[in-house]
A and B are shown apart, each in its own frame.
Chain A
Amino acid sequence: MKNTATLELRGISKAYANGKQVLSDLSYTLAAGEYVAIMGESGVGKSTLLNLIAGLDTPDTGEIWVDGVALSAKDDEAATSLRRRHFGFVFQAFHVLPHLTLLQNVALPLLLNDLPLDRAQQMLVAVGLQGREQDFPRHLSGGELQRVAIARALVHRPRLILADEPTGNLDPDTAQEILQLMRSEIKANGAAGIIVTHSQAAAATADRILLLSKTGLQPLISHQHV
């Protein structure tokens, strides 16, 4: 099964700098193409978990395997290149570079991975922003910005999309639209996805919902989305 697992967490523990233990002996395996939502109370360590997976932080104990490769955040170079190639990110605050056009923003991962740039255009079309390629982010609404972020997260065909409250800054209608888009694009690109959210509605768009608590990561509802 290791071969098909996109992500494997083995006994992850992490404490904050102030000593508060947030994750202890957490294990989980994410299969390829699986799209899960992680919910949980504030401060339970959802974002920390995402940072650990992204290689932006190091677990105190335990191992993280991505696509059969052990992620060692101590080797920043290796973690960075893994992140660059296999991960896509969607943030609550969008994080689009303000001085680049939409097309340039979406093309960033292609550039970083030395891939042909034409897919950026396709992705913009896919997220419904055709004709806006040369616009700058300041001309866009929040929903539109998040579409750009989704296009950017998927443009280089990553194995895993990490989304941290992607709809936290959006009104419910837009949020629903974005969640559907994200799901369909993740599926269309054959990627796996982890969405961290407080929102039931958002979580509901995932294949499965996991609850992060002090005791670990448990399936909340087995929910089959067709």
Chain B
Amino acid sequence: MNHSLLSRWLLLGEWQAHRLQIVVALIAIALGIAMGFSIHLINTTAVNEFSAAVKSLSGQSDFQVRATQPTFDEMLYPVLAQHESVAVASPMLEIQAAIPAKLEDDRNNTLKILGIDVYRAITITPDLVGVPAEGRAFDMLSDDAIFLSPAAMEWLEVEQGDKLSLRLGTQTVTLRVAGGLVRAHAGQRIAVMDIGAAQWRFDHVGLLSRIDLKLKQGVNHPAFKAALEEELPAQYLVTETVDQERRIHNMSRAYRINLNVLALVALFTGTFLVLSTQVLSTLRRRPHFALLRVLGLTRNQILLQILREGSLIGIVGSLLGLGLGYAFAATALHVYGGDLGGGFFPEIKPAIQLRPLAALLFFVLGVSVTMLGSLMPAWEAAQAHPASALKSGSEETALAKLRTPWPALICLLLAAILTQLPPVVELPLFGYFAVALLLIGGIAWMPSLTALFFSGLFRIFNRLTAGALTTLVLARLANAPQQAAIALGGVLVSFSLMVAMAIMVASFRISVEDWLTHILPADIYVRTVVRQDALGFTPQEQQAIAATAGIERIDFIRSLQITLDSARPTVTLIARPIDQADPGHTLPMTDNALSPTEIPLDAIPIWVSEAMVDLYDYQVGKRVALPLSEAQQDYIVAGVWRDYGRQFGAIQMQLSDYQKLTGEWHVNETALWLQAGVAPEEIIAALKALPFGESLTFWQPNAIRAISLKIFDRSFAVTYLLELIAVGVGLLGVAASFSAQALRRVKEFGMLRHIGVTRGQIYRMLALEGGLLAGFGIIIGFLLGGSISLILIFIVNPQSFHWTMELHPPWQWLLIMALTMLMAAAVTALLAGRRAVSGNVIRAVKEDW
């Protein structure tokens, strides 16, 4: 009873006296937890919603049969339907139709329409069966009816009975909204209509996208799969529905894990700040704990008291963090969608779900991290010899152990070794470990490095007989650097992360800009509204475009998605005229390529993106097979080009080769070079006047570039935000530790004032001290951040996204950041010192706390 009263007194007394430190510790924990929790929430929400949505699309099926190309001949359907092992075969045609009303925004303006046979789908994918209006049961078979999920209705702002215009290729189709898909997953934008109507209305007669299979009872699934794969021609893929989910996971995995790592880094930064505030606060109170020990508090009671205080901060901070994280996640999901602008889950607008287990996990994490931060200094304080700990200035002895640089050097060495290791399950885990070790090593090295640096500086300046103030400052920094180093840790962590991200993002952005310039050489690009496979410009339409006056040169481009591995996302195949003598004219080639004479005559050359090399081992010179034609045909990898657009891989080939192989004459896109003196607007006007001109969209390279960079910036917006928060917290940590130290130095300042140092000089001294320390932290942070950025650019990015980039440090921006940070630290130190200096001079000398 009395002990709990004591503990409350101590706690309240301490907190009232050091509100700033408490607030900083709370903010640090709260932000760390908030960042980790929100990104976790966003990721799990997005992935869960997406896979639930996909699950409701694949329903109860055991297998799905697709083709390597997006569609295939419907005559496979009766074959499978009558297969002896198949109970139900449900044919489906997937259409991505454009919404003319939504064309302003180039992304996510398509609606996925599933053409289903309601009588087959009802047993396998009951969620996809529309609910017609009362008394209109047969709308599910109607040739003009479409059923929309609630999210799609909301998005399209239509209701049952309204008309909906859709565009596919050069045609416009108007359908009647006949009802809803009540069981569609929340947030999922999807539409369903009769398969016969869909084939007809969207000009896909004779084609299917997939067939869902439900097997008869007792059929062995692996054996069935093997047998069916044997029976079917090579271009068909039989995937177990379970694989489907794995594939979705794979699709966004690298992105999600990178975000998670970012969250962990945030949590780490938060943790470090908590640790440093707790260490400093406990150190400051070392004499108080010694007194309590003398008065009769046992070691365990001291330890418990410190832990109790730490856990309280941890609990409050973590709770705050959970709330903040939830709010942040909800906002981010609302503003950016489930992939934070990454573009992986375009059809889903997930609503946030509270996950009690995750919340508990992050809560426990936050509390234990705080406890851990308190435990180490608490242990030291409890074990300290009370008699000597009572004397002021004993804190530095407590920290003396930190001076040994070896653990830090080992961390750094280990980091260097880890950078040489290959990815683990296609993730740059060792790269991340290296980043973490670099940070830890950098922080751990700070005390000894600070001592080394400032004592060196001290010696130099002493010899130069610098001014008294400078000498004082340097003497202090050289002799009592440990606490300063701990305070600096926060700046170091946040600044180095900021530097790392800035260098990485800038390098990436410049590389993307260069790439965009390279891949968009023409003056105008013309597309049909949506680049639907199998559809696009017919040869007649191509001729009509080519016949337009004022065009210097015209390239037709055919692109489609093909599946090479059913467990991976699709690969983009792009067929277009390529300058075989120098593919670098057409593609942003890396140095890795065959010379034209090395391409054998019997193989068709293809140029692959970097991802293809990593994911499919398409090495230059390798002969590979592609599922483009029935006939056996060798392809040879003639070169590797850089692609920031498609991280799952892309292949380019000559359009003439593609057309010869497939007999497919549609193209999706047209690149136009104009004759000198012809304005793009004239050509656009001329093309719009064509019979199918209504359905054309025109892009000029600068517009594409602008949109691409906008998307790029948007996907990094969250990163910027996280970094800014981390820096803010780092500065707060500096403020808190400076002010704590300044208060403890009241006596020193009093003495200085006694011997005739003016208040202004003390301020200058404080600012100089803060500036010197921060400057040193910034230099080290620069080095550390630079190293981390190299890991991010040359290890993490290629290993997780399969693209390389060139290093482009944004010097100007880095300099501005450094100066800002320096100023902020100096001002912080000054402000923190004011309170200490303004006190009673006489009193200050006499008192000892």
Where the two chains meet, the residues of A that have a C-beta atom closer than 8 Å to any C-beta of B are 47, 51, 54, 56-57, 76-77, 80-81, 83-85, 87, 89, 91, 93-95, 97-100, 104, 108-114, 117, 138, 142, 152, 169
Contacts and interface: CB of A to CB of B under 8 A. Distances in A.
Contacts of A113: 296
Contact of A97 (B2, B13, B385, B392): B13
A54 B5 CA distance: 26
Nearest to A93: B848
B385 A56 contact: yes
A110 B6 CA distance: 10
A87 B3 CA distance: 19
The 9 closest A-B pairs by CB, nearest first: A84-B296, A99-B13, A111-B6, A99-B17, A111-B2, A56-B387, A80-B298, A93-B848, A51-B387
B14 interface: yes
Interface in B273-309: 287-288, 291-299
Given A98-B17, A100-B13, 16 more contacts: A47-B387, A56-B294, A57-B385, A83-B295, A98-B849, A99-B10, A99-B14, A100-B9, A100-B10, A108-B292, A108-B295, A110-B2, A111-B5, A111-B9, A113-B296, A142-B846
Contacts of A104: 9, 13
B751 to A, nearest CB: 15
A95 B2 contact: no
B295 A109 contact: yes
Nearest to B848: A93
B390 interface: yes
Contacts of A83: 294-296
Contacts of B385: 56-57
19 contacts: A54-B387, A56-B293, A56-B294, A77-B298, A80-B293, A80-B299, A81-B298, A83-B296, A87-B296, A97-B10, A99-B10, A100-B10, A108-B292, A109-B296, A111-B5, A112-B6, A112-B297, A114-B1, A142-B846
A167 to B, nearest CB: 13
B703 to A, nearest CB: 64
Contacts of B293: 56, 80
A117 B2 CA distance: 9
A94 B287 CA distance: 12
A114 B287 contact: no
A84 B295 contact: yes
Contacts of A57: 385, 387
Given A85-B296, A97-B13, A111 B3 contact: yes
A97 B298 contact: no
Contacts of B288: 97-98
B632 interface: no
Given A56-B385, A142-B846, A95 B296 contact: no
Contacts of B849: 98
Nearest to A115: B2
Contact of A108 (B1, B6, B387): B6
Contacts of A84: 295-297
B465 interface: no
A151 to B, nearest CB: 13
B16 interface: yes
A48 to B, nearest CB: 9
B635 to A, nearest CB: 77
A116 B3 CA distance: 12
A56 B271 CA distance: 35
Nearest to A50: B387
A95 B299 contact: no
Nearest to A86: B296
Contacts of A89: 294-295
Among A94, A95, A138, max chain B CB count under 10 A is at: A95
Interface string B704-727: 000000000000000000000000
A17 to B, nearest CB: 10
B838 to A, nearest CB: 14
B386 interface: yes
